[in-house]
């Protein structure tokens, strides 16, 4: 791999694409050239990168000649069409969609957990689901110490996980309610302002949603833990940015709060914020636009053997998407 690679951001004008550019700049990623790719309607837009304007060009099947790394954030259908072509052109794709996550030939990577899996790539590396990544940032260090068997979890997912139009919908509905106007909805099936929706993604025949099953399926692959079990309820909440997850985990070994805190203090990419007596615990308000996830509200689970409860928050546009992708790109250079 070129030590100063030519990098492309696919879906550059979207929320995650913008965060990918910001993250590349913030982390001083040693790229030699940046190419911004998007659909035809975005062609000609100019985006700022390190003080200079970069013009967006159209994504086509011929876009990847000479590109070393492509960070994809344009949806599963785009990834399925263009990622294999990019790989055939000699480019390494880091894909943020769900298109290749469960493909046995494609590594699914959270660098703090399984960075070595990057070496197994055949041209495509998958970024995990945002809620899964944020949860595993706290769960995996505990798994290494105590051996996780299963978890029960509920997510509290920000509207920005759905996209810019969802943010606009929340803002619009808040204004409508404050001004005593009829509430209009277009993105979600129900009002999201001052409400919570116990549905993220589409329902499966089991009654779980696709989003809920990603925790178990992707968690098994990332942690190399084929017997890991996860029962999850994913909830959309009227928060602009940063997801939160309440987790009750059962372990093979005896766990104490003190031992768990010691493990989590040492975990990379994670901050322990656990002083409930002083009202200090992780919140989306404080993890938004922050690279690190935060964990707190540690306590022994009163219903599980060797059980521990915790609350973890993280910016789903960063650790759940853009930051994780750039970290994978950094691993490619090592």
- What are the boundaries of each domain within the chain? 6-128+321-333, 132-316
* Length of the chain as a residue count: 334
Query: What is the pLDDT, as a whole number, of residue 1?
Result: 75
Query: Which positions ≥6 away from 297 have C-beta within 8 Å?
Result: 246, 274, 276, 281, 282, 309, 310, 311
pLDDT range class, residue 295, cuts 50, 70, 90: very high
Architecture of the domain delimited by 132-316: 2-Layer Sandwich (3.30)
Rounded mean pLDDT of 193-222?
A: 98
Q: What is the 3-state secondary structure (H, E, C) of 117-169?
A: HHHHCCCEEECCCHHHHHHHHHHHHHHHHHCEEEEEEEEEECHHHCCHHHHHH
What is the band of 12 on the pLDDT scale with cuts at 50, 70, 90? very high
Active site amino acids: 130, 243
Whether 334 shows a pLDDT value over 90: the answer reads: no
Question: What does DSSP assign to residue 57?
Answer: E
DSSP assignment letter at 321: I
The Cα 122–Cα 245 span in angstroms is 33
Query: Shortest CA distance to 75 belongs to which of 38, 121, 123?
Result: 38
Number of other CB atoms surrounding residue 22 within 10 Å: 18
Name the token pair of 277. 């007596």
Which CATH code is given to the segment(s) 6-128+321-333? 3.40.50.720
Model confidence at 106, in pLDDT bands (50, 70, 90)? very high
**Which pLDDT score is estimated for 192?**
98
| Backbone phi and psi for residue 80, each to the nearest 5 degrees, phi listed first | -65, -35
């Amino acid at each position: 791999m070129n030590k100063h690679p030519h990098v492309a951001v696919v879906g550059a004008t979207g929320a995650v694409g913008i965060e990918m550019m910001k993250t590349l700049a913030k982390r001083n990623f040693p790229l030699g050239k940046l190419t911004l790719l998007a659909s035809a309607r975005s062609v000609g837009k100019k985006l700022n990168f390190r003080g200079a304007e970069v013009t967006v060009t159209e994504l086509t099947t011929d876009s990847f000649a000479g590109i070393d790394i492509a960070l994809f954030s344009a949806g599963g259908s785009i990834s399925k069409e263009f990622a294999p072509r990019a790989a055939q052109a000699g480019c390494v794709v880091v894909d943020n969609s769900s298109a290749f996550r469960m493909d046995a030939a494609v590594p699914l990577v959270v660098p703090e957990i399984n960075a070595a899996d990057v070496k197994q790539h055949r041209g495509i590396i998958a970024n995990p689901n945002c809620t899964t990544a944020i949860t595993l940032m706290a769960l995996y260090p505990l798994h290494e110490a105590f051996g996780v068997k299963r978890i029960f979890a509920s997510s509290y997912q920000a509207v920005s996980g759905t996209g810019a139009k969802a943010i606009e919908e929340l803002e619009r509905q808040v204004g409508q309610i404050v001004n005593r106007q009829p509430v209009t909805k277009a993105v979600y099936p129900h009002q999201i302002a001052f409400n919570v929706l116990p549905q993220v993604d589409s329902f499966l025949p089991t009654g779980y949603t696709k989003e809920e099953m990603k925790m178990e399926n992707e968690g098994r692959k990332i942690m190399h833990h084929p017997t890991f079990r996860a029962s999850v309820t994913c909830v959309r909440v009227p928060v602009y940015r940063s997801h939160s997850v309440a987790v009750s985990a059962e372990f093979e070994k005896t766990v104490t709060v003190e031992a768990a805190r010691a493990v989590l203090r040492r975990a990379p990419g994670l901050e322990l914020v656990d002083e409930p007596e002083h009202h200090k615990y992780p919140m989306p308000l404080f993890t938004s636009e922050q690279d690190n996830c935060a964990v707190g509200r540690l306590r022994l689970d009163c219903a599980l053997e060797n059980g521990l409860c915790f609350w973890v928050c993280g910016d789903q546009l960063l650790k759940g998407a853009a930051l994780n992708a750039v970290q994978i790109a950094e691993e490619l250079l090592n």
